[in-house]
Structure 1
Amino acid sequence: MLTTERLVLRRFRPADAETLAAYRSDPGVARFQSWDAPYPVPKARYAVESMAAADPTEPGWFQYAVELTAESAHIGDVGVNLHDNRMQAEIGYTLAPQRQGHGYATEAVRAVLEHLFRVQGLHRVSAECDARNLASARLLERAGFQREGLLRRHTWIKGEWTDDLLYGLLEVDFFGVDTAS
């Protein structure tokens, strides 16, 4: 569906269930996410089936499978939660641990943002991350997001209260030009 120099962002396929289960089962990947490790293959199959059936133009979550073009390898995902007004969305992402640190997540997020702003005409995209997840916060900032706030002890997850960082990106800031005027 979307391509970059090194990646293809596409709809999930049944064959992606094994790799989805593998990277979601990594304790370091699951640490700041809503799921627990291990992430069983049957659960991954159900998730892939649900993600493949979603419509990226309709409100709700749509997950792009991130594929490394050179290896035709599924290495992660980028999720978009389109708001009911179809002018705003929330974004999230996950990358297999062995693929982190090579700029793939930033490249994938930027491709999705480009599509959301240029093709779907969104006004704003937001993101949240656990305040301890410094790599995620840095990724958002590299992609152009502005830190807009801190919600102290906001989320109860995995037996503890966590602080959440809030980020936002406007179309005008992404392109550097006010395209609405």
Structure 2
Amino acid sequence: MFVRTERLTLRRFTSADAEPFAAYRSDPAVARFQSWDPPLPLDAARETVERFAEGDPEAPGWFQYAVDLDGVLIGDLGLKLHENLMQADLGYTLAARYQGRGYASEAVRGLLEHLFVERELHRVSAEADARNLASARLLERIGFTHEGLRLSNTWFKGEWTDDLLFGLLRDDYLARRLSRPPPTPAPSA
């Protein structure tokens, strides 16, 4: 376990995650603004989950955190740590049936707390397809600054798309954190 929030656990992937991972990543609505095309066959999901399980969250490159709700995989957070180990890019995916309940915000907030307070990263960045308004609202709600728009920047699934750019600095995160009441600690297991 890397992070525990009020309702969620951010942990390493396990082989038991392959089926739910394949299920939500095969959903066309979930994949719409993501880099993969559905469906995700179970064999490919098994290979991917195995690769995720072997990753190192403190090494440069991508690491995928499993988002767990009461023992059930409901999504994942991807973090690409830069070579300098002080900056990272963030991505997130949540199964459709768990969207709209605050789980994505809670998971990202939990990871940010870990990254900025425990690991002392300097900056976390995120990009969103400009049509993905829910993702943009989530980033702004949890404190990211909208830093820019790259028009017709990405050839994505057969069309040019606009990219929204977001960033959050550790100093800004800590200042906001100090101005609000402390979170309720997660119950110990």
**TM-score w.r.t. length of structure 1:** 0.95
**Aligned-residue offset at 1:55:** 0.4
Q: In structure 2, what residue type is equivalent to 1:43? A: A
1:6-53 superposed Cα distances (whole Å, 9 cap, x missing partner): 001100000101111100111111000010011111111111011111
Root-mean-square deviation (CA, aligned residues, Å) is 1.1
**Aligned-residue offset at 1:65:** 0.3
Q: In structure 1, what residue type is equivalent to 2:46? A: R
**Aligned-residue offset at 1:86:** 0.4
Alignment of 1:16-95 (within 5 A): 16-69=17-70, 72-95=71-94
Query: Do residues 148 (structure 1) and 147 (structure 2) align?
Result: yes
Gaps in structure 1 of 5+ consecutive residues: none
SS at match of 1:176: helix
Give, in whole Å, the separation in 1 of the partners of 2:75 and 2:117.
23
Give, in whole Å, the separation in 1 of the partners of 2:69 and 2:43.
24
Give, in whole Å, the separation in 2 of the partners of 1:3 and 1:102.
17
SS at match of 1:55: coil
**TM-score w.r.t. length of structure 2:** 0.91
Q: In structure 1, what residue type is equivalent to 2:80? A: N
Match of 1:175 in 2: 174
Gaps in structure 2 of 5+ consecutive residues: 177-189
Structure 1 runs (4+) deviating above 2 angstroms are none
1:65-120 superposed Cα distances (whole Å, 9 cap, x missing partner): 00112xx2110001110000001000000000000000000000001111111111
Q: In structure 1, what residue type is equivalent to 2:133? A: L
Match of 2:186 in 1: none
Q: In structure 2, what residue type is equivalent to 1:76? A: G
Give, in whole Å, the separation in 2 of the partners of 1:48 and 1:167.
28
Q: In structure 2, what residue type is equivalent to 1:34? A: S
Q: How many residues align?
A: 176
SS at match of 1:58: coil
SS at match of 1:118: helix
**Aligned-residue offset at 1:142:** 1.2
Q: In structure 1, what residue type is equivalent to 2:164? A: L
**Aligned-residue offset at 1:157:** 1.2
Give, in whole Å, the separation in 2 of the partners of 1:157 and 1:44.
22
Query: Do residues 7 (structure 1) and 3 (structure 2) align?
Result: no
Q: In structure 1, what residue type is equivalent to 2:68? A: E
